[in-house]
Amino acid sequence: MSAATTLSIAGSDPSGGAGIQADLKAFSARGVYGMAAVTALTAQNTTGVSGVHVVPPEFVAAQIRAVLDDIRVDSIKIGMIANAGIAGAVAGALERFSGPVVLDPVMVAKGGHPLLPADAVAALRERLLPRAHVLTPNLPEAAALLEDDTADNRAGMEAQAQALLALGPKAVLLKGGHLESRQSPDLLVTEHATIWIDGQRVETRNTHGTGCTLSSALAAELAKGQPIANAVRTVKQWLTGAIAAADGLDIGHGHGPTHHFHALWPEAGDTKRAQRN
């Protein structure tokens, strides 16, 4: 039986916590074969982004075509787009792809550095949202896409999720981690259903790459044929575990990464003790 496959179209994070590095880890952790087409190189670490080098749009498209020409792709995750030209190039390259696409509208890095120019938001909204099987914004990203204020309660989340659904994606997973709440509520909206999926809020600052990780894990579950609601619940539970185990990694001096392989590796502390012995 052949392995399920997923292609990430996203930027690179040399520190390994976000972008294509996080995507490939999430694909592996969820049991699918991962591939990546790079849209931008970033100079970043757990404390912030210090530079971005954008890949020419035609070369982004060439990477995607090279994969599609040779390998069966069961799902695609789209992350950092970088500019309007790349949004158009990705949309054009995906005209021949009919499988599920998970679109994570990466706009601002964890440290606050903008990753998507204002003139590219319209291109993302017009060219890629209608192609998405699932759109996975957080609350500030949803507000930016809708040119609205950031939702601060569940009623506002429902209104904005429905407004995003009207822009063309088949489903919207609106992440509520920015709400001031004891829980971490996410909202899945489709044409036929509105489903709240609550999760435990983990107190940690090590949440670098959580958006990338969730969207790529979701793409992996869709590649395996999971129905959307089941896939979201599976990924929500897995990501909560990855965040809960993040402190054990002890990576960097800022917002450290989640622990993608928390279910597969020994505890980080045990590993360190074994290394010392």
The model's pLDDT over 169-215, given as tens digits with 9 standing for 90+, comes to 999 999 987 777 777 799 999 999 999 998 778 889 999 999 999 99
Helix H or strand E encompassing 236: helix 228-244
Q: Do residues 145 and 163 touch, judged by C-beta distance below 8 A?
A: no
Look at strands 186-190 and 171-175 and give their pairing. Answer: antiparallel
- pLDDT value of position 115: 66
Residues in the chain: 277
Which string of DSSP letters, residue by residue, matches 187-199?
Answer: EEEESS-EEEE--
Pick the CATH number of 5-276 from 3.40.50.2000, 1.10.3720.10, 3.40.1190.20, 3.40.50.300: 3.40.1190.20
Output Rg (C-alpha) for the chain, integer angstroms: 18
If you average pLDDT over residues 144-167, what whole number do you get? 94
pLDDT at residue 268 greater than cutoff 60: no
CA angle, corner 104, sides to 103 and 106, nearest 5?
135
- pLDDT value of position 220: 98
Instruction: Return the domain boundaries, the chain.
Output: 5-276
If you average pLDDT over residues 34-44, what whole number do you get? 97
Question: Which residues are 99's β-sheet partners?
Answer: none
Lowest-confidence region among 52-61, 137-146, 226-235? 137-146
pLDDT at residue 274 greater than cutoff 60: no
- Give the percent of the chain with pLDDT over 90: 81
If you average pLDDT over residues 229-238, what whole number do you get? 96
- Give the percent of the chain with pLDDT over 70: 92
pLDDT confidence band for 129 (50 / 70 / 90): very high
If you average pLDDT over residues 29-39, what whole number do you get? 98
* Catalytic residue (choose from 212, 213, 236, 248): 212
* Catalytic residue (choose from 17, 211, 248, 256): 211
User: Token pair for residue 225?
Assistant: 């044929």
Distance (Å, whole) CA 13 – CA 28: 17
Active site residue 207: yes
Active site residue 210: yes
* Catalytic residue (choose from 156, 177, 209, 248): 209
* Catalytic residue (choose from 77, 110, 175, 236): 175
* Catalytic residue (choose from 5, 6, 42, 210): 210
Q: Which residues of 34-46 are buried (b: 16+ CB within 10 A; e: fewer)?
A: bbbbbbbbbebbb
Active site residue 254: no
Active site residue 258: no
pLDDT at residue 144 greater than cutoff 50: yes
pLDDT confidence band for 111 (50 / 70 / 90): low
* Catalytic residue (choose from 5, 207, 213, 258): 207
Lowest-confidence region among 48-52, 103-107, 184-188, 264-268? 264-268
pLDDT at residue 114 greater than cutoff 80: no
